[in-house]
Amino acid sequence: MSVSTAASVQTVCAPLPVLGRDVTVPLVTGGEVTYAALDYAASAPALQRVWDDVAAYAPYYGSVHRGAGYLSQLSTDLFENARRTVAEFLDCRADDQLVFTRSTTDSLNLLAAALPDGCQVFVFETEHHAGLLPWKDARVTYLDAPRTPGQAVETLERALADRAVSVEGGHGPALVCVTGASNVTGELWPVRELAAAAHAHGARIVLDAAQLAPHHPVSVRDLDVDWVAFSGHKLYAPFGSGVLAGRADWLKAADPYLAGGGASRRVTRREDGGVDVEWHESAARHEAGSPNVIGAYSIASACKALTEAGFDTLVAREQHLIDRVRAGLAEVPQVKVLSLFGDDAPRVGVISFVVEGWNSSHFAAALSAEYGIGVRDGLFCAHPLVRTLLGSAPQAQGECGAPEAAPGEKSLNAIRVSFGAGTPDEHVDRFVTAVRELVTEGAKWTYRTEEGRCVPAV
């Protein structure tokens, strides 16, 4: 990016207003500083627009569905309009079904519960645990970490071609689960090509868009995925909500994810004392109980805000921040940035690294306590991937905080910095400066281990 382009991005693309942008935090060295929230990959701060929309609706909150009162009808309309807004944001097909869930993890567990009998699941070891672990009742084929996007497609094609033939003489149902953007490296995965490979072999594919949707447009049609899952708390929307959207047939054929009110259309007693249940075939089938209307509304509000801001603008500004961080880290020889696909791979604002001579927990604690910068350290709920990336990385035990290491073992954990639409330039500049100073000058404070975490000694 040229200097003039970078300046234009700075001028035209101001960060979107988020909650907490003016919060100050104390430093162990004295004084206070505006908090630099650089842990967007875990939970992004809520957009001010989302909070304002929710606050405006809150006095009108009422029970959703079946209520005769005005507030109940208003809340029901808002809830169902939110469903349409999110479906439009995802560019869903006309006959797709969109279910509101609690998170990406909840969405993928719902889909796992809806798999047809005999379904075989294919998943790369590089997935977040949300995509790696829900498939316990299916036959699962775990695929090794690829080192290029092309290798990812080739690995999947070979695995699908080699899958077992069923006793009926054909291939049974199959599902591929893949991330859109890694929560560890930020690298974009070749989703469209993986979807084409899956469909060519009679398999379906679900996209974990938790890290993709906040940074890039996600089109179910264009990517040709069968389902997409994401979380509101990654998309600048609070309140513990998520989405699973896509093909309706497996969802309609499956027993309800949760049994209870809202999922049932008709319940009658039998003469033998039991009950017969007729379940809904709409999204309500998997939305038992009183729905999280505020959570659904907050996701819809975030979708509108990102759409109105324009993803072209958001992507350009984020790339400016990515370039700024990567250039700064490249100037510190002791820093090793983690990557599967190489330095030139396109990515979102998620960067993980290790620092020679530092335990990652110690480094992250110093960033927080001495500079007011919030990052993440550890294995990021992607243990197989991080262990693969760090298998041969030189990393000292450090003076404190090795939560993943047994006594005498090398600590395998990393530091992750992540940012997005609400991140000002000052936050990433402060981060780069802090990394350089900690590496060259060392920590200004003493730290100790407390319950596996590195914390300032007091």
Give catalytic residues, as residue numbers.
Answer: 381
Decide if 27 contacts 33 (C-beta within 8 A).
Answer: yes
Q: Read off the tokens for 425.
A: 């330039």
Q: In what order do the strands lie in the sheet with 414-418?
A: 335-337, 350-355, 414-418, 376-378
Please report where in the chains the tokens 């250039």 appear, as a residue.
327
Cα 77 from Cα 272, distance rounded (Å): 40
Q: Which of helix, strand or coil describes residue 408?
A: coil
Residue 338's Cα: distance from chain center in Å? Answer: 18
Please report where in the chains the tokens 């530092």 appear, as a residue.
358
- Other Cβ atoms less than 10 A from the Cβ of 135: the count is 23
> Any idea how long the chain is?
458
Decide if 364 contacts 453 (C-beta within 8 A).
Answer: no
Q: Which of 232, 225, 234 is nearest to 300 (CA)?
A: 232
Cα 331 from Cα 236, distance rounded (Å): 32
Q: Read off the tokens for 214.
A: 């906040």
Please write down the long-range contacts of 221-225, taking CB distance under 8 Å and 24 or more positions apart: 221/91, 221/92, 221/93, 222/91, 222/192, 223/191, 223/192, 223/195, 224/192, 224/195, 224/196, 224/199, 225/191, 225/195
Cα 156 from Cα 389, distance rounded (Å): 20
Cα 75 from Cα 62, distance rounded (Å): 6
Please report where in the chains the tokens 């868009």 appear, as a residue.
209
The contacts of residue 282 (CB under 8 Å, 6+ apart) are 97
Ramachandran angles phi, psi of 54, nearest 5°: -65, -40
Cα 138 from Cα 115, distance rounded (Å): 8
- Other Cβ atoms less than 10 A from the Cβ of 138: the count is 18
Decide if 449 contacts 72 (C-beta within 8 A).
Answer: no
